[in-house]
Homo-oligomer: A and B are copies of this chain.
């Protein structure tokens, strides 16, 4: 089973980083139901205006569809006024892991 990895960073307005972390880490069971396997939110000491995210989803479609969830729309709307507009990111198809046997 391949999964979909979505990795990115969000620029925040000065002083708003922690508020964005707060929004993105609000417990949201909808995400699990939508097929989110992992969603980690973090920061770097040397980047005071950036929030980093790593997400794993059952599929690219699951990720896309999750953006239609009202709870997700709400958190995006909450975050947007705090963001600088600078985004960076990458997504890819996961093929395997050295932590588990993958079917060949």
Q: Interface of A with B (CB < 8 Å)?
A: 2-3, 5, 7, 9, 21, 24-28, 31-32, 36, 38-45, 52, 54, 56, 75, 90-102
Contact = CB atoms under 8 A, between A and B. Distances in A.
Contact of A95 (B5, B7, B21, B27): B21
Copies of this chain, tallied across the complex: 2
Contacts of A95: 21, 25, 41-43
Contact of A97 (B40, B43, B90): B40
A25 B97 CA distance: 5
Contacts of A26: 98
A3 B72 CA distance: 24
A39 B56 CA distance: 11
